[in-house]
Amino acid sequence: MRSTFLLASIVLSPILRAQTYTGSGGPIPDDGSTAFFSCPVSGLVPTTLDTVAFGVMEVCINLTHTYDADLEISLVAPDGTTVPLSIGNGGSGNNYLNTCFRQDASASILNGTPPFNGTYRPQGQLGLVNNGQLGNGAWALKIYDNYPSDAGTLFNWNITFGNDPAGYFAFTESDLPIVVINTNGQVIVDEPKLMADMGIIWNGPGLRNHLSDPFNHYEGKIGIERRGATSATMPKKSYGVETWDLNAIAIDTALFDMPSENDWVLSAGYPDKTLFRNAFTYGTARAMGRYAPRTMHVDVLLNGEYIGVYTFCEKVKRDEGRVDIAKLLPTDVLGDELTGGYIVKVDKTTGSGGDGWYSLLPPAFNSGGADVAILYDEPDQDDIVAQQANYIEAYVDSFELSLLSAFPADTSTGYPHFIDPVTFADQLLVNELTKNGDGYRISTFYHKDKNSNGGKLKAGPVWDYDVSSGNGDYCDIWRTDGWAYEFNTVCGTAPNMVSGWWQELVQDPTFQRVLRCRWEELKVTALSPSALEARMDSLADLLNESQGFNFQVWPIMGAYTWPNYYIAEDYQGEVDTMKWFIQERWNWLDAQLPQVSVPCSTVGIADAGAMPDINGARFVGDDMLVNLPSGNKVMLDVLDARGRIIASGYVQPDGTVGRITMTGAAPGLYLVRPGGPADGAWIRAVKTD
């Protein structure tokens, strides 16, 4: 008997050393505030927590709530270390009943179903609290109800300490640049930015980076804040970063070979399991000849904790290296100075939204839908002066009214007078190729330079494509057929609608010609299947190592994460699914984009022969001479080889020859046609010098 008793003592000793402490309960507030339920710990032996000998093993909770997905539940240690236990899981289901979290559990809370009961791996790394801190002190369970209308109660919760402590992933090196941020004990909030320290380790392309290496790319102060609206409720947060001096003054800095600036974004892309939908789409837009934010994938540590792979990128902003339009000063309230330097966006009014005005047009294909808000972005609501706000609103109003006019494509009075149609065609092609769930209706930017610099409203730059390329389970955005611009017909009660601009444009024959001809040009270059696949393969290869790090700390691979529709079991499966989706969309677009009666030439513009009012055109120096046999005044458009209108207006012939002066026009092919409502043929003219 003595030997049997001794054996039992050896086997049971880990259990005998476990120490459990019970915390307080109470109502879970439903008013947007965060509740902290305390659990004082004292008399803990040993006192120091680590991942080897002794530390936190398990946390258990017991609560009722009528909509589990509203809840964000985290453990907070005495030193402030916060570990997400369950964030936004369970959908409309109810309750966590005797639910325990252990790092070594076989099932993740992400794969559980409510009412949650049993033992699960937490959403974060429980072992992060076993970081050498003293276990005695004030522990807390943090619960935030992120949506009103559903109530709940925490009955009790407990922490178990023992000699089978939870471990965590220890990040040490990477082939991506390493960004290290230290907030010095401060909590990052939505606004205002708080001062923190940032260091970047980057030994150059293709070289290995070690956490022990010196900060050789950047070391200094930053201002940092949380970003996003919906994304702000996700466990992995996105951040806005501004490079600062010691006095919190913004200083321009060139990072990752991008033009010098001070505003940057660390984009989390939590639900995008490829980790590259944004980088892929921005790169595609740049290949089309448009400005889009440049990107660099990085591994990020925040306050000593590895928080995953992020996309470090430029913020959409007016700057010579970004949206290259004139700077609009508060004193620019008259004449040409008033006419440009604007960035506006169609977006949510929450998150990074702001003030603006509502579109005159009803939402596209849904006249009863919610009004479309157009928001000031630059100058923003705090900096724009009344004259500027009035000007840009009146300009956009005029554009909208032109879409409803008898001759919407008239180059003097229709939409071509107000916008650059090719940029709108490019925006449409990007949105439709990726079937962006937020396209046209959220995070959609437009910009306008001064009249002396062209002055037309242009679409872009593209922004925020996490919920695209098949990564969405709502409003048919997972389907490889159907138009994204018809979103309002599928989800007509959504709070953010596609602008009515797009309904009018896609139904206009002139815009259809621009759109089809632009597709014909791009589908063999930037948007060719081989180019698109190569772009995705390159990004996947770049992330091959660090994606593994990311999904150790965010164990969502193979599990539903809002708003996933296609769910692969591994990283390559996610990449392959996206590649399949893009190819299917490409095929559908190629078949469904409107055909035009006048075929596109190799430069994207048709030449169907002369019409009676124009029977020839040639250059003499900087003047284009157009033969007008009728001798009548005629409205003419001149387009370059890419289909962009570069000159338009009425021409009064001298006899039978009209003269269009084009000083500064580069040598090359140009095309001229009757402007306005006329639907004439194209005449070619080649400038040789």
The tens digit of pLDDT for each residue in 54-92 reads: 999 999 999 999 999 999 999 999 999 999 999 889 989
- Residue 660's closest CA among 603, 618, 613, 611? 618
Instruction: Show the tokens assigned to 623.
Output: 């003047």
Q: Is the peptide bond before 461 cis (omega within 30 degrees of 0)?
A: yes
CB atoms near residue 33 (< 10 Å): 8
Q: Are 545 and 306 in contact (CB under 8 A)?
A: no
Looking at the structure, tell me whether residues 367 and 495 fall in a common domain.
yes
- Residue 681's closest CA among 626, 609, 633? 609
* Backbone dihedral region for residue 206 (phi beyond 0: left; psi -120 to 50: alpha; all else: beta): left
With cut-offs at 50, 70 and 90, classify the pLDDT of residue 43: very high
CA separation for the pair 436, 368 (Å, rounded): 23
CA separation for the pair 230, 612 (Å, rounded): 58
Looking at the structure, tell me whether residues 651 and 515 fall in a common domain.
no
- Would you say residue 205 lies in a domain? no
In the prediction, which pLDDT does 637 show?
74
Looking at the structure, tell me whether residues 506 and 362 fall in a common domain.
yes
CA separation for the pair 68, 71 (Å, rounded): 6
- Residue 687's closest CA among 675, 669, 674, 664? 669
- Would you say residue 67 lies in a domain? yes
Does position 160 have pLDDT exceeding 90, yes or no?
yes
* DSSP at 318: B
Name residues whose C-beta falls within 8 Å of residue 526's C-beta, 6 or more positions apart in sequence: 284, 287, 288, 289
- Mind listing the pLDDT tens digit for each residue in 589-601? 999 998 876 566 5
What is the amino acid identity at position 361? L
State the Cα angle at 331 between 325 and 334, rounded to 5°: 80
Instruction: Show the tokens assigned to 524.
Output: 């063999």
Measured on CA atoms in the order 624, 625, 627, 630, is the torsion positive or negative? positive
Looking at the structure, tell me whether residues 367 and 485 fall in a common domain.
yes
In the prediction, which pLDDT does 14 show?
42
Expressed in angstroms, the distance from the first to the final Cα of the chain is: 107
Name residues whose C-beta falls within 8 Å of residue 433's C-beta, 6 or more positions apart in sequence: 284, 527, 582, 585, 586, 589
Q: Are 617 and 683 in contact (CB under 8 A)?
A: yes
Instruction: Show the tokens assigned to 308.
Output: 């995953």
What is the CATH number for 664?
Answer: 2.60.40
Domain that residue 622 falls in = 617-687
In the prediction, which pLDDT does 388 show?
97
- Mind listing the pLDDT tens digit for each residue in 650-672? 777 777 788 888 887 888 777 77
Looking at the structure, tell me whether residues 374 and 508 fall in a common domain.
yes
Query: What's the pTM value of the predicted model, to 2 decimals?
Result: 0.79
Name residues whose C-beta falls within 8 Å of residue 415's C-beta, 6 or more positions apart in sequence: 399, 402, 403, 408, 409, 421, 504, 505, 508, 511
Q: Are 627 and 603 in contact (CB under 8 A)?
A: no
Between residues 686 and 363, the one the model is more confident about:
363
CA separation for the pair 265, 287 (Å, rounded): 22
Looking at the structure, tell me whether residues 380 and 509 fall in a common domain.
yes
- Picking from 350-354, 363-367, 378-382, 510-514, which range would have the lowest pLDDT averaged per residue? 350-354
Looking at the structure, tell me whether residues 408 and 509 fall in a common domain.
yes
With cut-offs at 50, 70 and 90, classify the pLDDT of residue 12: very low
Name residues whose C-beta falls within 8 Å of residue 688's C-beta, 6 or more positions apart in sequence: 619, 667
- Would you say residue 268 lies in a domain? no
Ordered alpha helix ranges (H), 234-343: 277-287
Instruction: Show the tokens assigned to 7.
Output: 């054996």
Last residue of a domain, one of 143, 162, 181: 162
- How does 506-528 read in b/e, with b if 16+ C-beta sit within 10 Å? bebebbbbbbbbbbbbbbeebbe
- Would you say residue 344 lies in a domain? yes
Q: Are 56 and 166 in contact (CB under 8 A)?
A: yes
Q: Are 177 and 142 in contact (CB under 8 A)?
A: no
Does position 15 have pLDDT exceeding 50, yes or no?
no
Average pLDDT over residues 215-239: 91
Instruction: Show the tokens assigned to 60.
Output: 């258990």
Q: If residue 129 lies in a helix (H) or strand (E), which one and from where to where?
A: none
CB atoms near residue 500 (< 10 Å): 23
Looking at the structure, tell me whether residues 621 and 512 fall in a common domain.
no
- Would you say residue 603 lies in a domain? no
Last residue of a domain, one of 525, 543, 572: 525
- Would you say residue 532 lies in a domain? no
The two beta strands, 19-23 and 55-65, are: unpaired
Length in residues, the chain: 689
- Would you say residue 409 lies in a domain? yes
- Would you say residue 671 lies in a domain? yes
Q: Are 190 and 224 in contact (CB under 8 A)?
A: no
Looking at the structure, tell me whether residues 466 and 339 fall in a common domain.
yes
Instruction: Show the tokens assigned to 411.
Output: 């180059």
Looking at the structure, tell me whether residues 380 and 518 fall in a common domain.
yes
- Mind listing the pLDDT tens digit for each residue in 86-117? 988 998 999 999 999 999 998 889 889 999 99
- Residue 621's closest CA among 573, 580, 677, 667? 667
Q: How many CA atoms lie within 13 Å of 47's alpha carbon, on the beta-carbon side?
A: 6
Alpha-carbon distance values, 30 to 143, 147, 317, 604 (Å): 10, 7, 37, 57
Last residue of a domain, one of 162, 182, 201: 162
Looking at the structure, tell me whether residues 645 and 509 fall in a common domain.
no
The count of domains in the chain is: 3
In the prediction, which pLDDT does 469 show?
98
Does position 605 have pLDDT exceeding 50, yes or no?
no
Does position 678 have pLDDT exceeding 60, yes or no?
no
In the prediction, which pLDDT does 667 show?
83
- Residue 343's closest CA among 464, 227, 459? 459
Looking at the structure, tell me whether residues 149 and 26 fall in a common domain.
yes
Instruction: Show the tokens assigned to 610.
Output: 């002369």
In the prediction, which pLDDT does 10 show?
35
CA separation for the pair 474, 496 (Å, rounded): 14
CA dihedral 362, 366, 370, 371 (to 10 degrees): -10
Q: Are 209 and 242 in contact (CB under 8 A)?
A: no
Average pLDDT over residues 329-334: 97
